[in-house]
């Protein structure tokens, strides 16, 4: 009993310390580039565990408070759409946020084992999210964007990794981009280019370093016009996740 209370105090102190680190300024050791994909740790552990979809739904209830029960995120870009994203990408991002390799103070507490559970929980919830039907009304780029220029930029710079249809590459942890909200992509693109997103792929940082604001708007708007495969989409924007009835 005494041991148990010592452990829980320790767990509390550790959580507190970790959260303080996560919230603190960029000046500490975590501000260094975290590297793109070191693998190992929870990322590998979660990848190799057999997912339990029922527990995945339980865990997802935590996520749904911000990402919505449908996993659709918000059009204004604060919370990304998670539905339909590759499980391996979700595992990597969740493990990175939890390991302080990606700064996300709003998300951080929800990535902690105290909130969602261990590697098995990561395995479960990401399998659940990957199967969710996607938002058919994801945020588009501005009408003023030049789609012809955007398409050229996309073909010259993005297709090699993210693919013609912006489906990404699950095996390499490259996210699918089709169906993502424009404003979320805009923020992440800028952060990746400017070095603020520490777990970014260095090849991408290099690839987009000379993108102007106009280039960014054009290419990302083009991405928002790449159709999501019909079988991945929810039937309408009024669709509600039946698991939450």
With binding defined as CB under 8 A, does residue 66 bind other proteins? yes
Stretch (H or E) spanning 202 = helix 202-207
Residues 140/77, Cβ–Cβ less than 8 Å? no
What is the spatial distance between Cα 100 and Cα 113, in angstroms, rounded to a whole number? 13
- Which C-beta is closer to other proteins: that of 10 or that of 16? 16
Judged by DSSP in three states, 174 sits in strand
> Which of the residues 151 through 190 are near other proteins (CB under 8 A)?
none
Write each residue from 15 to 54 as x if it is in contact with other proteins (CB under 8 A), else as -, in one continuous string: xx--xx--x-------------------------------
Nearest to 167 by CA among 126, 195, 124, 134: 134
User: Residue 187 Cβ, how far from other proteins at the closest point, in Å?
Assistant: 9
- Which C-beta is closer to other proteins: that of 66 or that of 147? 66
Torsion angle of alpha carbons 73, 124, 119, 191, nearest 10°? -20
- Residues touching other proteins: how many (CB under 8 A)? 22
> Which of the residues 78 through 117 are near other proteins (CB under 8 A)?
78-79, 105-106, 108-110, 115
Nearest to 124 by CA among 46, 36, 213, 22: 46
* β strands within the chain, DSSP E: none
- Which C-beta is closer to other proteins: that of 108 or that of 189? 108
What is the spatial distance between Cα 159 and Cα 39, in angstroms, rounded to a whole number? 24
What is the spatial distance between Cα 37 and Cα 199, in angstroms, rounded to a whole number? 7
- Which C-beta is closer to other proteins: that of 77 or that of 163? 77
With binding defined as CB under 8 A, does residue 60 bind other proteins? no
List 134's β-bridge partners, or say none: 233
What is the spatial distance between Cα 7 and Cα 139, in angstroms, rounded to a whole number? 46
Segment near other proteins (CB under 8 A); pick from 14-22, 127-135, 171-179, 216-224: 14-22
Q: Which of 35, 52, 53, 64 binds other proteins (CB under 8 A)?
A: 64
List 174's β-bridge partners, or say none: 169
- Which C-beta is closer to other proteins: that of 110 or that of 189? 110
With binding defined as CB under 8 A, does residue 244 bind other proteins? no
> Which of the residues 115 through 134 are near other proteins (CB under 8 A)?
115
Interface residue list for other proteins (CB under 8 A):
12, 15-16, 19-20, 23, 62, 64-68, 74, 76, 78-79, 105-106, 108-110, 115
């Amino acid at each position: 009993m005494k041991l148990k209370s010592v452990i829980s105090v320790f767990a509390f102190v550790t959580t507190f310390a970790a959260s303080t680190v996560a919230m603190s300024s960029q000046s500490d050791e975590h501000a260094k580039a975290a590297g793109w994909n070191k693998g190992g740790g929870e990322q590998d552990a979660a990848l190799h565990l057999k997912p339990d979809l029922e527990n995945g739904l339980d865990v997802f209830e935590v996520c749904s408070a911000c990402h919505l029960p449908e996993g659709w995120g918000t059009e204004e870009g604060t919370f990304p759409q998670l539905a339909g994203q590759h499980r391996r990408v979700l595992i990597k991002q969740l493990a990175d946020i939890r390991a302080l390799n990606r700064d996300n103070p709003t998300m951080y507490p929800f990535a902690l084992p105290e909130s969602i559970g261990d590697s098995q929980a990561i395995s479960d919830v990401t399998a659940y999210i990957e199967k969710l039907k996607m938002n058919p009304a994801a945020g588009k780029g501005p009408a003023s964007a030049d789609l012809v220029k955007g398409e050229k930029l996309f073909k010259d710079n993005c297709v090699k990794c993210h693919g013609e249809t912006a489906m990404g590459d699950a095996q390499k942890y490259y996210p699918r981009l089709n169906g993502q909200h424009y404003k979320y992509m805009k923020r992440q693109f800028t952060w990746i280019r400017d070095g603020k997103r520490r777990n970014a792929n260095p090849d991408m940082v290099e690839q987009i370093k000379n993108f102007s604001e106009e280039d960014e708007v054009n290419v990302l708007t083009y991405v928002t016009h790449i159709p999501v495969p019909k079988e991945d989409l929810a039937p309408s924007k009024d669709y509600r996740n039946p698991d939450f009835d």
